[in-house]
Structure 1
């Protein structure tokens, strides 16, 4: 039945059949996360880094109503050029995009769903969504967290996006039973910065150990994902006070303009980029590269255990 919906790039299909390591990648970062042509350049380099570290990249999107597992260079270019004209797609949007034969750029939640359907266990991205600041009154909580509580995919990221309420995000993940691993760090990184003031559940700096933990978790049918929080490299990290000041200013403006729901994150990230003179975009790119490298290393180790 899934053949009706899933379409695999040949390289990815062969790798999965041969039990070689594959790393899933989202496509919202291409369409909504960066301007063209920087988005395309970044997406192609991320795929290159994954290959250099021994795994096969599978950028995921929905094109003409098909769940695409692995994109060609031309498809990535097309997504990058269309930008925000492509529908930002989370769990609730997938059936609509398929039925309407539309194009959709997948968020963390949607990418996890399609990766699981395809049999991919490791996914590298920028940062996960979470509980937004002020959620105690707005109830603005990313679908990424619900997906992490249910879907058996490990997500390598630079922690939670720093525009969020990180403390409440961690509380939500704890309640949902989602392990939060710091890759060689005790403190959860906050996307642009290496520190947040909140501790992770476990500090593990070995891809081999993380792979063993993932296998044990899923062998025992302890369903749900794992957050592997990999801090931005020190040389690219932004000053905590600078970035937090920019975020507070961006959040204030989003409230004044009544921006809510799926429009919140793109607006806030764009505003922070504007306030920081573009340095936040440079940091964003470098942390994605770093996550791709670690994601590939974990996928390689996990493929040895299956």
Structure 2
């Protein structure tokens, strides 16, 4: 049995050299309630098509990595209670057991590269967690991006993470970071952090040129395209900072530690924001899809 199966329209687009944009599935299974998650997944795919590219939502179903999902497969990921959250290290285990899994940024980028897809749109990248000097808690997204030749378009990293440490780690891993239309690294729900980016690009064509140079040099790292949410879609800074502080205080009070901290923080913020953080999450992904589709078109035109 095949371990990776590429949906027909995705395979046709790749064979023709047409633009393709990979999409993760964790946001469907673990990021939104049903049936809102299914509707959001369909909306994201429609946006990719509207911007002139083919969507490839990635997940594992019945032990097979699917590059592009049929409607019934999207519905399964959105509604089934036995869908595991998969990073790269989880893939061989769940696939060997013929299980279902939704792919994180790391697993999505890994499988996208295996299928020959070079552009991936997500919300926010994982990174170095607060207090990582003692917990050693760092997302697998960073290490995977260091040896996965995919351009990941994201609104920076989740703002509950240690942004400065994450940028330092990306530098150590030799992962290029490009500020898309910005000189400042974005802060996920907010367009700006306190940290500059070393390299700014202002067009999809510039990103495509960087990817071409990476290939010519024989480098196998990915590229982080840091794309800030537009000002009119961003969350209120005061509300954001207040709820982030409250979320950390609640985590400390309840003794939340290690890998459970970030899910706890994001869930707390979503509940206490009255849906504001969720609205911004969806806008973040939609905006990243727009930029990613443009990059995919530019990559296709250079081929």
TM-score bracket, shorter-length normalisation: over 0.9
Structure 2 partner of 1:301: 298
CA distance in 2, matches of 1:39, 1:91: 23
Does 1:125 find its partner at 2:137? no
CA distance in 2, matches of 1:76, 1:261: 31
What's the TM-score once normalised by structure 1's chain length?
0.96
Moved more, 106-115 or 268-277: 268-277
Structure 2 partner of 1:35: 33
Give per-residue Cα distances to partners, 1:149-205, cap 9 Å, x unaligned: 111111001111111010101010011111111110111111100011111121111
Give per-residue Cα distances to partners, 1:83-110, cap 9 Å, x unaligned: 6x41110011011011000001000000
Change (3 A) 1:228 1:254: same
Change (3 A) 1:78 1:291: same
Q: How many equivalent pairs are there?
A: 303
User: Where does the alignment leave 5 or more consecutive residues of structure 1 unmatched?
Assistant: none
Structure 1 partner of 2:59: 61
Computed over aligned residues only, the root mean square deviation of the Cα atoms, in angstroms, reads 1.3
CA distance in 2, matches of 1:20, 1:184: 25
Structure 1 partner of 2:237: 240
User: Where does the alignment leave 5 or more consecutive residues of structure 2 unmatched?
Assistant: none
Equivalent residue runs for 1:46-57 within 5 Å: 46-57=44-55
Deviation at 1:276, TM superposition (A): 1.2
Structure 1 partner of 2:277: 280
CA distance in 2, matches of 1:215, 1:102: 37
What's the TM-score once normalised by structure 2's chain length?
0.96
CA distance in 2, matches of 1:46, 1:133: 31
Give per-residue Cα distances to partners, 1:118-169, cap 9 Å, x unaligned: 0000000000000011111111100001011111111001111111010101
CA distance in 2, matches of 1:264, 1:102: 26
CA distance in 1, matches of 2:255, 2:136: 14
Instruction: Say which of 151, 163, 166 aligns to 2:163.
Output: 166
Structure 2 partner of 1:44: 42
Deviation at 1:252, TM superposition (A): 2.8
Deviation at 1:261, TM superposition (A): 4.7
Instruction: Say which of 186, 190, 193 aligns to 1:189.
Output: 186
CA distance in 2, matches of 1:117, 1:291: 22
Change (3 A) 1:56 1:262: farther
Give per-residue Cα distances to partners, 1:16-50, cap 9 Å, x unaligned: 11111111000001001111122111111111111
